[in-house]
């Protein structure tokens, strides 16, 4: 699905859905209607304020339903990053003690944990938490452990139940936080994150607006607010509500949940065709987080979300490839969208044991609910010649 590039070149093929998605038409309609009808301050007592508050409450009910939470456990924030920060800093501020996270976390988690002097837990070659190392870290002093449900670069799904079991056995007071920003479009959080105490979401990853996030705070979890003022969001996050954005978030979340099964099946098939086509057309490709398989065996990507195709190309640099792809009308990224343009290879791939040279040629091709077969066809026509050209120039 194409969208014009206001700066200069066109975009015929958008394969950066993990970075951000277009807003769903229904979410835009909700946003416009809410902006017109819900312009009042939801904390007021008059009719206009009550209308705004009802829009927020309706969205809270929608989100609670699709994540398997109580409405009182839904805390609206300004972004997924703010939700992650609230989970880490809020847990530590309330309970004291130490913090920890997996080595492959988004920087919205990794940086707060490092800022607090917390521990970083090792992962294996698939990006799964090393449970033996976690057992060393999970002491009685641990206040919060953060482990991403689906990795934003590789798409690897993290099983949370074994992690929860380690905490229950060794650090029973520790909260388990999961950044589910990338997971929600692909996984039913009512099952995949049932054992988490804290869950982060971000609207623009599934057809909602930018600037709206959610932190699910289970009743058993206790946090100290990090944004103080008017005491909104159950005293957890002060600030006047973004009524229109919150309403649109609710609509997008409801639609994503309702359509998830069909989207996963359709997009998963597109992803598989894209990866297989590139592997057939271009040599020297490593698909990350994939185990060795017998010759002729179909690749099993069930441990990854359906929209994620993460590859490393021998003998090229990511930034040069991305530049060429954009010139051909294809939008993608090298690692996290927050890190694209950085000269250092992905910390995620480094933690998984990939060499600096191989990680330097990484390409994240991510699909979403609006991706089409034509997107895959165009990508298969564009990417191989660009890779060949770069390798020839480097030879």
Q: What whole-number distance in Å separates Cα of residue 207 and Cα of residue 369?
A: 9
Q: Is 101 a catalytic residue?
A: no
Query: Which one, of 145, 234, 161, lies nearest residue 198 by Cα?
Result: 145
Non-local CB neighbours of 334 within 8 Å, separated by 6+ positions? 318, 319, 322, 340, 346, 362, 363, 364
Non-local CB neighbours of 65 within 8 Å, separated by 6+ positions? 254, 257
Q: Can you tell me which residue has the tokens 């989207």?
A: 263
Q: Can you tell me which residue has the tokens 């972004």?
A: 79
Out of 77, 101, 312, 338, which one is annotated catalytic? 338
Q: What does the H/E/C string look like for the chain?
A: CCCCCCCCCCCCEECECCCCCCCCHHHHHHHHHHHHHCCCCCCCCCHHHHHHHHHHHHHHHHHHHHHCCCHHHEEEECCHHHHHHHHHHHHHHHHCCEEEEECCCCHHHHHHHHHCCCEEECECCCCCECHHHHHHHCCCCEEEEECCCECCCCCEECCCHHHHHHHHHHCCCCEEEEECCCCCCCCCHHHHCCCCCEEEEEHHHCCCCCCCEEEEECCCCCCCCCCCCCCCCCCCCCCCCCHHHHHHHHHHHHHHHHHHHHHHHHHHHHHHHHHHHHHHHCCCEEECCCCCCCCCCCCCCCCECCCEEEEEECCCCHHHHHHHHHHCCEECECCCCCCCCCCCCCHHHHHCCCCHHHHCCEEEEECCCCCCHHHHHHHHHHHHHHHHHHHHHHC
Residues with catalytic function? 338
């Amino acid at each position: 699905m194409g969208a014009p590039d206001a700066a200069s070149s066109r975009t015929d093929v958008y394969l950066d859905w993990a970075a951000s998605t277009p807003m769903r038409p229904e979410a835009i309609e909700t946003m416009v209607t809410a902006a017109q009808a819900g312009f009042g301050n939801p904390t007021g007592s008059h009719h206009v304020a009550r209308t705004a508050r009802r829009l927020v409450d309706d969205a809270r009910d929608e989100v609670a339903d699709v994540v398997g939470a109580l409405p009182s456990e839904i805390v609206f924030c300004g972004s997924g990053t703010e939700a992650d920060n609230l989970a880490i800093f809020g847990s530590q501020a309330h309970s004291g003690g130490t913090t920890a996270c997996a080595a492959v976390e988004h920087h919205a988690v990794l940086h707060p944990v490092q800022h607090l002097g917390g521990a970083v837990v090792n992962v294996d070659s698939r990006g799964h938490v090393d449970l033996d190392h976690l057992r060393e870290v999970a002491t009685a002093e641990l206040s919060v452990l953060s482990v991403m449900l689906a990795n934003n670069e590789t798409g690897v799904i993290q099983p949370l139940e074994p992690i929860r079991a380690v905490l229950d056995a060794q650090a029973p007071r520790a909260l388990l936080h999961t950044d589910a920003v990338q997971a929600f479009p692909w996984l039913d959080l009512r099952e995949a994150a049932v054992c988490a105490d804290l869950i982060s979401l971000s609207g623009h990853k599934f057809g909602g607006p930018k600037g709206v996030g959610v932190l699910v705070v289970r009743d058993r979890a206790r946090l100290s607010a990090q944004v103080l003022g008017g005491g909104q969001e159950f005293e957890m996050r002060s600030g006047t509500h973004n009524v229109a954005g919150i309403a649109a978030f609710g609509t997008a979340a409801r639609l994503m949940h309702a359509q998830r099964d069909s989207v996963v099946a359709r997009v998963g098939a597109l992803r598989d065709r894209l990866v297989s086509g590139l592997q057939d057309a271009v040599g020297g490709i490593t698909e990350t987080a994939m185990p060795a398989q017998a010759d002729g065996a179909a690749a099993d990507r069930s441990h990854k979300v359906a929209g994620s195709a993460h590859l490393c190309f021998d003998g090229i640099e990511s930034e040069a490839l991305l530049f060429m792809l954009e010139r051909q009308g294809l939008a993608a990224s090298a690692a996290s969208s927050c890190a694209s343009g950085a000269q250092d290879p992905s910390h995620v791939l480094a933690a998984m044991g990939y060499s600096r040279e191989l990680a330097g040629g990484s390409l994240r091709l991510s699909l979403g609910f609006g991706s089409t077969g034509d997107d895959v066809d165009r990508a298969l026509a564009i990417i191989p010649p660009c890779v060949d050209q770069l390798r020839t120039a480097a030879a």
